[in-house]
């Protein structure tokens, strides 16, 4: 497919012809860019959140504290690497690697700019592309789930396991909404290649509204606003960022799936999270914000989309998307897990499916009936929007019916505004043994059996006992103990 191709616009035919050293330069360049963007994003996040909270933020390491993330990375590299005794050592070691490598691979199909000259060789500013380039990004993001789940399972601890299971359910759920949100982009672009999707947004769309012809916007974020909103919400949940950072809920799971990790292994998880943020931000710029092409009014300049200038426009869009991630973290509280999953399955996924149906219907009617854009919007878009709004209104009223009726009765003085608390205690019955306390039938609170015996922890070694029955005190050296003498305190 060669739609809207220009002299500087790469197509699928332009890939696969580079010499080996140009490919090596691109690989090293992408790795360096992602590491630099990770260091930048960490400092940027701390600076922006500090500004929102009227603090100074990092200001010691480097000029205005901009080398703080580099110092943190070096600190993690020199920290002690601790492995739990019950950990599955091979899986424990491979889990952060599995989480990190797909995050870097996903960036290989992101177009960073047009065709440029590198030491006399003309090559696109993109490592590679394929007819299914966007699916490569989705596949790599899905592979990251394995690293997180294996990290929680291999740690040999309860809280990392719970965090890993949460992450598996969360990332799979929101990847479905994320994948459905970009189906409409495929329908408009006619391709799943990232370079051709950018080419489809190169020029304005010629629109006809009842005989009035004009040039409309070409960014998919404006043409497909519902897809853009669903994608923006889904990637926040897919990357485990606040307010959807349930796998790392510190108040519930200590630190989540990486609780038992330290040193470079923890740094790899940290790196994977921020590289995923950069990747989904770059994919958002590619699919919805015109890719590397300059926004209006900069695009009026003829040289804005040639040479190395598109790198600047592309990374400016990525930084704006990263700012939205940080803005959400500094503004919204963490959702409850049931609310989070209900929102993904009962709101995002159905909305994305209905939106795909609407877009496909509008495209088909426009092509088969030979109608103008305004007529399709009037005869198909408006009725579909009214049906969707009516359905959402009916669903909202039915979901809040009990609360609304109670509020009306409370306003009339019939009942209290608050329902009595549901009965959550076990049913009343005879107590198994006498404890002197009031029983459940008499209104007392149930208590666990006092003769419950917990098996010894496998982490703790048996504590030796001296000849006189006194416990033996360890000296701190492996294999050496000292008997506690009489009179010691």
pLDDT in tens, 249-263: 666 666 778 888 888
pLDDT at 80: 85
In angstroms, the CA 235 to CA 279 distance is: 10
* Alpha-carbon gap, residue 277 to 376, rounded angstroms: 37
Of 5-19, 171-185, 226-240, 322-336, the least confident: 5-19
The pLDDT tens digits for 61-103 are: 988 889 999 999 999 888 888 888 888 889 999 999 999 999 9
Place of tokens 């939106």: 355
Residue 20 has pLDDT above 60, yes or no: yes
pTM, full prediction: 0.77
pLDDT of residue 180 exceeding 80, the answer is yes
Residue 242 falls inside a structural domain: yes
Least trusted range by pLDDT, from 13-22, 182-191, 368-377, 424-433? 424-433
Which one has a higher pLDDT value, 319 or 305?
319
List, in order, residues 6 or more apart from 39 with CB less than 8 Å away: 69, 70, 73
Of the listed ranges 3-7, 43-47, 341-345, 348-352, the one predicted with least confidence: 3-7
Percent helix, strand, coil in the chain, to 5, is 55, 5, 35
What is the average pLDDT across 183-196? 90
> What is the per-residue pLDDT for 38?
94
Range of the structural domain that residue 61 is part of: 15-337
Q: Is 208 exposed, middle or buried (0-12, 13-18, 19+ CB in 10 A)?
A: middle
Q: How far apart are CA 473 and CA 480, in angstroms?
A: 9
Whether residue 427 is contained in a domain is answered as no
Which residue, 138, 139, 108, is CA-closest to 124? 108
The answer as to whether 391 is a domain residue is: no
What token pair was written down for 353? 């499916």
Residue 483: predicted pLDDT: 45
Query: Does 93 reside within a domain?
Result: yes
Phi, psi of 307 (to 5 degrees): 70, -140
d(CA 240, CA 90): 25
pLDDT score of 5: 39
In a domain, 272, yes or no: yes
**Where is 473: in which H helix or E strand?**
strand 472-474
Do 109 and 126 form a contact (C-beta atoms < 8 A)? yes
Q: For residue 450, what are its two tokens?
A: 């006092």
Domain count, the chain: 1
Is the confidence at residue 179, as pLDDT, over 60?
yes
Residue 177 domain flag: yes
Q: With residue 208 as reference, give the H or E element that holds it.
A: strand 205-209
Q: Find how far residue 101's CA is from the centre of its chain.
A: 16
Mean model confidence pLDDT for the chain:
80
**pLDDT higher for 108 or 455?**
108
Backbone dihedral region for residue 469 (phi beyond 0: left; psi -120 to 50: alpha; all else: beta): left
Of residues 399 and 304, more confidently modeled: 304
Angstrom CA distances, 46 to 42, 102, 330, 485, stand at 6, 26, 10, 54
More confident residue, 402 or 299: 299
Q: Count other C-beta atoms under 10 Å from residue 301's C-beta.
A: 11
Scanning 158-240, the segments in alpha helix (DSSP H) are 158-181, 183-189, 194-200, 220-223, 225-238
Give the residue with greater pLDDT, 401 vs 356: 356
Name the residue with higher pLDDT: 135 or 158: 135
**Tokens 């009026």 sit at which residue?**
300
Is residue 140 a contact partner of residue 103, using CB atoms and an 8 Å limit?
Answer: yes
Q: Please indicate, yes or no, if residue 428 is contained in any of the structural domains.
A: no
pLDDT at 171: 83
44 within domain boundaries: yes
At 410-451, the pLDDT tens digits run 666 654 545 554 454 444 445 444 555 555 445 444 555 555
Q: What is the pLDDT of residue 459?
A: 59
Question: Please, are residues 220 and 355 in contact by the beta-carbon 8 Å criterion?
Answer: no
Cα–Cα distance for residue pair 307/53, rounded to 1 Å:
40
User: How large a percentage of the chain has pLDDT more than 90?
Assistant: 29
């Amino acid at each position: 497919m060669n739609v809207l191709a220009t002299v500087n616009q790469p197509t699928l035919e332009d890939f696969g012809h580079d010499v080996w050293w140009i490919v090596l330069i691109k690989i090293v360049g992408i790795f360096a860019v992602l590491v630099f963007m990770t260091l930048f994003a960490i400092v940027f996040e701390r600076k922006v959140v500090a500004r929102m909270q009227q603090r100074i933020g990092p200001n010691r390491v480097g000029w205005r504290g901009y080398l703080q993330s580099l110092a943190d990375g070096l600190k993690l590299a020199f920290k002690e690497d601790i492995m739990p005794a019950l950990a599955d050592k091979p899986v424990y070691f491979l889990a952060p690697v599995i989480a990190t490598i797909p995050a870097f691979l996903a960036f290989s199909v992101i177009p960073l700019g047009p065709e440029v000259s590198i030491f006399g060789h003309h090559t696109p500013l993109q490592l590679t592309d394929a007819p299914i380039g966007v699916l490569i990004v989705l596949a790599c993001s899905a592979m990251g789930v394995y690293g997180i789940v294996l990290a929680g399972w291999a740690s040999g601890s309860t809280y990392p396991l719970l965090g890993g299971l949460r992450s598996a359910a969360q990332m799979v759920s929101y990847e479905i909404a994320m994948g459905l949100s970009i189906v409409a982009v495929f329908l408009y672009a006619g391709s799943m290649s990232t370079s051709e999707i950018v080419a489809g947004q190169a020029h304005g769309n010629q629109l006809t509204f009842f005989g009035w012809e004009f040039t409309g916007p070409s960014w998919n974020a404006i043409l497909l606003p519902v897809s853009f909103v669903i994608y923006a919400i889904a990637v926040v949940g897919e990357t485990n960022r606040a307010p959807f950072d349930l796998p790392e809920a510190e108040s519930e799971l200590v630190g989540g799936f990486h609780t038992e990790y330290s040193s470079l292994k923890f740094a790899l998880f940290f790196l994977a999270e921020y590289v995923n943020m950069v990747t989904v931000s770059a994919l958002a710029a590619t699919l919805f914000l015109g890719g590397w092409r300059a926004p209006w009014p900069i695009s009026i300049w003829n040289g804005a989309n040639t040479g190395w200038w598109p790198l600047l426009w592309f990374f400016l869009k990525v930084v704006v998307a990263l700012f939205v991630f940080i803005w959400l973290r500094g503004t919204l509280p963490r959702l409850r897990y049931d609310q989070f999953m209900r929102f993904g399955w009962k709101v995002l996924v159905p909305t994305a499916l209905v939106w795909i149906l609407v877009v496909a219907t509008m495209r088909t009617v426009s092509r088969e009936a030979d109608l103008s854009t305004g007529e399709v919007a009037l005869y198909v878009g408006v009725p579909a929007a009214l049906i969707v709004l009516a359905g959402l209104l009916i669903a909202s009223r039915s979901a809040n019916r009990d609360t609304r009726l109670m509020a009306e009765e409370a306003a009339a003085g019939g009942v209290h505004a608050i329902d009595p608390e549901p009965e959550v205690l076990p049913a009343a019955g005879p107590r198994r043994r006498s404890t002197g306390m009031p029983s459940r039938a008499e209104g007392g609170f149930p208590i666990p059996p006092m003769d419950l015996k917990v098996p010894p922890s496998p982490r703790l070694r048996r504590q030796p006992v001296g000849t006189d029955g006194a416990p033996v005190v360890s000296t701190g050296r492996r294999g050496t103990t000292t008997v506690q003498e009489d009179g010691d305190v």
